[in-house]
Structure 1
Amino acid sequence: MADDLKKGLEGVLVAESGLSSIDGDAGRLIYRGYSIEDLARGASYEEVLYLLWHGELPTADELEEFSAALSEERGVHDDVLDAMERLAAADERPMAALRTAVSMFSAYEPESDADPEDLEATMRKGRRITAKIPTALAAFERYRQGEEPVDPHPELGLAANFLYMLTGEEPGDVHAETFDQALILHADHGLNASTFTSMVIGSTMADIYSAVTGGVSALSGPLHGGANQDVMEVLFEIDESNLDPLDWVEQATDEGRRIPGFGHRVYNVKDPRAKILQERSKELAEEGDDKWYEITTTIEQYLSEEKGLAERGIAPNVDFYSGSVYYQLGIPIDMYTPIFAMSRAGGWVGHVLEYQEDNRLIRPLSRYTGPTDQEFVPVDER
């Protein structure tokens, strides 16, 4: 088995997990046995966090206690805010700013001396990270706009509170519910690159701050977390071209351009998360501008049916609709991947906790392909 090279670890089973499962042929995603459709339409992001970390949905009392604990941890140290202000002034990329913020959180961790094997302490640290990320991200964006940060609202849930801190205004019900759903949809998705990175770091018994910082770093790569921004940039291009969307797509595909938001490493049919976000995009369109919804649905139908992508197992993924949904919520496009991280942090924490219950250092092999009999020559003779 050690002689079988699997580039990218494709098809290699490296761990067992009870957090999420994907059926790529059926287009099915479950968290802890619950369908993503039921969770997105019936639960809150806080309930999903509890489910991922504790293995079961909370009772009403447990949810109230858990949500209150998250709310109490939202504040970030002034030093972190100062760093966000400096990074905004330096025109730093939002994902890099987030990476810095998560790393800085650990400097003010009240349980920094906790035993790395104390999983209850690790969970509390993970809760602090998850609660603080929205505050740091919103502050960074406010500083970029030349405005002061908005303090967290103690009465709002995590999703609504982020929109509030971003804009300074409490979001309407549709906006808050839509963003909460988006966070649920992105909370976990099997052993993807960023989750695996977090697990590898966690397997060394490094602290959860290191693991989540690693997850942010992995997600920042364009092959993993940036497709929803790419989708929105394409939609802008179509809108500014003054061409019919179908004419634009026909021209782009003739030129060999790839339309972002189509195709997935696991799904061979339409991503179930894309179906849910398409519904939300329609609701948002009914409240305001329906342009983005019309363009995306037109493109999907054309590429899936006219171009036959559906028959080839290439269908819309979650990014195809999340881009326009975030835009309709008033979120800057270069904040899309950090928002992905804001949601997925809950999954990273859950996987580290799960793996460390029966920890083994992750240490794969590589095949050496270099020379073996080089003769050493002293530096003065080279």
Structure 2
Amino acid sequence: MSVVSKGLENVIIKVTSLTFIDGEKGILRYRGYDINDLVQYGSYEETIYLMLYGKLPTRSELNQLKEKLNEEYDVPQEVLDAIYLMPRDADAIGLLEVGTSALASIDKNFKWKENDKEKAISIIAKMSTLVANVFRRKEGNKPRIPEPSDSYAKSFLLASFTREPTAEEINAMDKALILYTDHEVPASTTAALVAASTLSDMYSSLTAALAALKGPLHGGAAEEAFKQFLEIGDVNNVEKWFNEKIVSQKNRLMGFGHRVYKTYDPRAKIFKNLASTLMSRNTEAKKYFEIAQRLEDLGIKQFSSKGIYPNTDFYSGIVFYALGFPVYMFTALFALSRTLGWLAHIIEYVEEQHRLIRPRALYVGPEHREYVTIDKR
């Protein structure tokens, strides 16, 4: 008898050497390296090299990677025009889809297995340009291409804002990029893999991933979690809000629970520390951090017996908010980081284990029915 796994839960669709997760122990590793060590000692550029080439770079290799990123930020004017022709109130992920689709239309000579990793580095650079200009379009500012620097995070923040980011902000952005880099095969990565399995191009595969990321149950979860803090408004309102919205009305506590983790998400702990550091210079961020802390205490007390704890989206929004980004940009910032994971997975799949992804459905409809012409119905 055929068995349907709803949501493809626990269905293995590929083998990977990219990311390891132990949901019971709260372990996350990229290429064997613990996420805590990568965040503490490494940089996003090192993570790019690690995910694409399978090892940590030497200083010379790292410098070459940075040079390649700095050379590839520019995008065709038609791509920027496509984004800026859209209304300011357009959805941020929708605008990113416009940008990646435009690049897919222009990049006509793409072929798999021809400098795939170098192509991925170019795309990662251009995604920085797209995300920065999605933000600038929605804020009513003119286009800006990231300028070369010694840091991908710094170049992105400089392109996004009209002010010089602090060293603390650059560090937080860099760590956030590492934390959201990859998480095995969630919905967006699966969507990218399905597209890539047809041998579609990389930009089109990213567009498929963005479409899946847009949903509030995936990439949009950070926005929904932060909206809770906005609705609560004051730390003194947390308990009343929790009892009404979560306990009595049985609404979902956004930023809590994960399909894989049955303990505290290791990324959430790091995002919490980053938020704690950044809030010292931002009174609004401090207010939301205090709300989140109190809400976390109540949530763990209520749900920990069921294996439901804070996930990475619970505190990440406070980090992005403290950096100066509005709520509507949180999912786009997720996409900026996850682009590396999407590309690493589709390259691994196409180069090492390619097969068209074509699942089946279990038919439960009626048996054969005789067709009755319309005048006899």
> What is the TM-score of this pair, normalised by structure 1?
0.93
State the partner residue of 1:249. Answer: 242
Measured against aligned partners, the alpha-carbon deviations of 1:201-230 in whole angstroms (never above 9, x if no partner) come to 111111111111111111112221111101
When structure 1 is superposed on structure 2, of 367-376 and 321-330 the one drifting more is 367-376
State the partner residue of 2:102. Answer: 104
Asked whether the equivalents of residues 261 and 317 of structure 1 are also in contact (C-alpha less than 8 Å), the reply is yes
TM-superposed CA distance for 1:77, in Å, is 1.4
SS in 1 for 2:365: coil
Instruction: Number of aligned residue pairs: give it.
Output: 373
Cα distance in 1 for residues equivalent to 2:80 and 2:167: 29
Where in structure 1 are there 5+ consecutive unaligned residues?
none
The RMSD of aligned alpha carbons is: 1.7
Asked whether the equivalents of residues 193 and 346 of structure 2 are also in contact (C-alpha less than 8 Å), the reply is yes
State the identity %. Answer: 38
Asked whether the equivalents of residues 111 and 201 of structure 2 are also in contact (C-alpha less than 8 Å), the reply is no
Cα distance in 2 for residues equivalent to 1:246 and 1:214: 40
State the partner residue of 2:142. Answer: 148
TM-superposed CA distance for 1:108, in Å, is 3.6
SS in 1 for 2:28: strand
State the partner residue of 1:345. Answer: 339
Cα distance in 2 for residues equivalent to 1:297 and 1:69: 41
TM-superposed CA distance for 1:243, in Å, is 4.2
Measured against aligned partners, the alpha-carbon deviations of 1:339-362 in whole angstroms (never above 9, x if no partner) come to 111111111110011111221111
Corresponding residue to 2:196 among 196, 202, 211:
202
Give the residue type in structure 2 aligned to 1:298. Answer: R
Paired residues for 1:133-282 under 5 Å: 133-239=127-233, 243-253=236-246, 254-282=248-276
TM-superposed CA distance for 1:168, in Å, is 1.9
Cα distance in 2 for residues equivalent to 1:296 and 1:378: 63
Give the residue type in structure 1 aligned to 2:364. Answer: T
TM-superposed CA distance for 1:45, in Å, is 1.0
Cα distance in 2 for residues equivalent to 1:101 and 1:226: 19
Corresponding residue to 1:300 among 296, 302, 323:
296
SS in 1 for 2:20: strand
Cα distance in 2 for residues equivalent to 1:152 and 1:333: 22
When structure 1 is superposed on structure 2, of 128-137 and 247-256 the one drifting more is 247-256
Asked whether the equivalents of residues 93 and 210 of structure 2 are also in contact (C-alpha less than 8 Å), the reply is yes
State the partner residue of 1:51. Answer: 50
Does residue 82 in structure 1 map to residue 81 in structure 2?
Answer: yes
SS in 1 for 2:87: helix
SS in 1 for 2:338: helix
Measured against aligned partners, the alpha-carbon deviations of 1:175-221 in whole angstroms (never above 9, x if no partner) come to 11111111111110011111111111111111111111111111112
Cα distance in 1 for residues equivalent to 2:71 and 2:375: 64
Give the residue type in structure 2 aligned to 1:99. Answer: E
State the partner residue of 1:322. Answer: 316
TM-superposed CA distance for 1:95, in Å, is 0.6
Does residue 36 in structure 1 map to residue 30 in structure 2?
Answer: no
State the partner residue of 1:69. Answer: 68
Asked whether the equivalents of residues 192 and 346 of structure 2 are also in contact (C-alpha less than 8 Å), the reply is yes
Cα distance in 1 for residues equivalent to 2:105 and 2:75: 11
Cα distance in 2 for residues equivalent to 1:229 and 1:335: 8
Where in structure 2 are there 5+ consecutive unaligned residues?
none
> CA 1:12–1:338 in structure 2 vs 1: closer, same or farther (change >3 Å)?
same
TM-superposed CA distance for 1:70, in Å, is 1.2
TM-superposed CA distance for 1:114, in Å, is 4.3
